[in-house]
Structure 1
Amino acid sequence: MSPFASELAFQRLLTAAGQAPSVLNTQPWRLKTVRGEFAELLADPDRWLRVSDPRRRSLHVSCGAALFNLRLAVRTSGHRPLIWLLPNTEEEPRLLAAVRVSPYGPAPSGTRELYECIGLRRTNREPFSERRIPGDVLADLRQAAAREGAGLVMLGRHASADLLEYVAIADEALAGNGDYRAELRAWTTSGNGREGMPSYVRGPGCADDPAPVRDFGTHRGRGPVHFESRPQLAVLTTAGDGPVDWLRAGQALQRVLLTATLHGISASFLNQPLDLRDMRRHSDPRHRRGHLQMIIRLGYGPAVPRAPRRPAAELEAETGVSRRRPAEPRSCR
Structure 2
Amino acid sequence: MTGPGTIPETGAPGTRPGENPFATQAGLHRAIAAAVAAPSVHNTQPWRFHRVDDATMDLYADLDRLLAVTDPLGRGLGVSCGAALFNLRLAVRMTGHDPRVLPLPDPGDRPDLLATVHATPGGPPSPDERLLHDMIPHRRTNRFPFDGRPLPRDVLAALVAAAHGEGATLVPVAGRAARRVLDMVATADATLAADAAYRAELAHWTRAETGADGVPGHAFGPRPGLGGPPMRDFGLGGTRGAYDGGGQPTDFEPDPQLAALFTAGDGPRDWLRAGQALQRVLLTATAYGVAASLFSQPLDLRPPQHRGDRVGPLGHVQMLIRLGYGSPVRRVARRPVCEVLDGREARRA
Name the counterpart of 1:275: 300
Structure 2 equivalent of residue 326 of structure 1: none
Superposed displacement of residue 289, structure 1: 1.6
Pair 1:230 & 2:255 matched:
yes
Bigger drift between 207-216 and 182-191 goes to: 207-216
**How far apart are the structure 2 equivalents of 1:307 and 1:212?**
21
> Counterparts in 2 of 1:202-213, with a 5 A limit?
202-209=220-227, 211-213=229-231
TM-score by length of 1: 0.92
The reply to whether residue 242 of structure 1 matches residue 267 of structure 2 is yes
Q: Does 1:152 align with 2:165?
A: no
The separation in 2 between residues aligned to 1:143 and 1:234, in whole angstroms, is 13
The separation in 2 between residues aligned to 1:35 and 1:314, in whole angstroms, is: 19
The partner residue of 2:143 within 125, 132, 139 is 125
Equivalent residue letter for 1:282: H
Q: Which residue of 1 aligns with 2:327?
A: 302
Residues 113-262 of structure 1 mapped to structure 2, 5 A cutoff: 113-190=131-208, 193-209=211-227, 211-216=229-234, 217=236, 218-219=240-241, 220=243, 221-222=245-246, 223-262=248-287
What is the distance in 1 between the residues matched to 2:185 and 2:297?
6
Take 2:40 and 2:176, find their aligned partners in 1: how far apart are those partners? Answer: 29
2:95 to 77, 91, 102: 77
- In the TM superposition, residue 272 of structure 1 has moved relative to its aligned partner by 0.7
Aligned-partner SS, 1:250: helix
1:288 aligns with 2:306: no
In structure 1, the residue corresponding to 2:156 is in which secondary structure?
A: helix
CA distance in 2, matches of 1:133, 1:208: 24
Letter of the aligned partner of 1:187 in structure 2?
W
Indicate conservation of the 8 Å contact 1:141/1:256, yes or no: yes
Equivalent position SS for 1:118: helix
1:62 and 2:80 are equivalent in the alignment: yes
- In structure 2, do the counterparts of structure 1 residues 152 and 254 end up closer, same or farther at CA, with 3 Å as the change threshold? same
Equivalent pairs, count: 319
Provide the rounded CA distance (Å) in 2 between the counterparts of 1:319 and 1:148: 33
Distance 1:141 1:192, change over 3 A: closer
Change (3 A) 1:210 1:204: closer
Write out per-residue CA displacement over residues 34-55 of structure 1, whole angstroms, 9 at most, x where no aligned residue.
1334110000011111111011
The 1-side partners of 2:174 and 2:227 are apart by 18
Residue identity in the other structure for 1:315: V
Q: Deviations over 1:271-327 (max 9, x none)?
A: 11111115x55315321222000011000011000111111111102269xxxxxxx
Q: Which residue of 2 aligns with 1:330?
A: none
> 1:107 aligns to what?
125
- The alignment's TM-score, normalised by the length of structure 2, stands at 0.88
User: How far apart in 2 are the matches of 1:22 and 1:281?
Assistant: 24
Measured against aligned partners, the alpha-carbon deviations of 1:217-274 in whole angstroms (never above 9, x if no partner) come to: 2342434101000000110000000000000000000000000000000000111111
| Matching residue's letter, 2:336 | P
In 2, distance between residues paired with 1:213 and 1:168?
8
Partner of 2:42: 24
Report the equivalent of 1:324: none
| Structure 2 alignment gaps of length 5 or more | 1-18
In the alignment, the residues of structure 1 paired with residue 158 and residue 250 of structure 2 have an alpha-carbon distance, to the nearest angstrom, of 31
Whichever residue aligns with residue 306 of structure 2, its letter is H
| Distance in 2, Cα, partners of 1:142 & 1:260 | 11
> What is the SS of the residue equivalent to 2:302?
helix
Q: Is 2:213–2:334's contact at 8 Å kept on the other side of the alignment?
A: yes
3-state SS of 2:266 partner: coil
Unaligned runs of 5+ in 1: 321-333
Question: Residue type matched to 1:186 in 2?
Answer: H
Q: What is the rounded CA distance, in whole Å, between the counterparts of 2:39 and 2:26 in structure 1?
A: 23
AA aligned to 1:237 is F
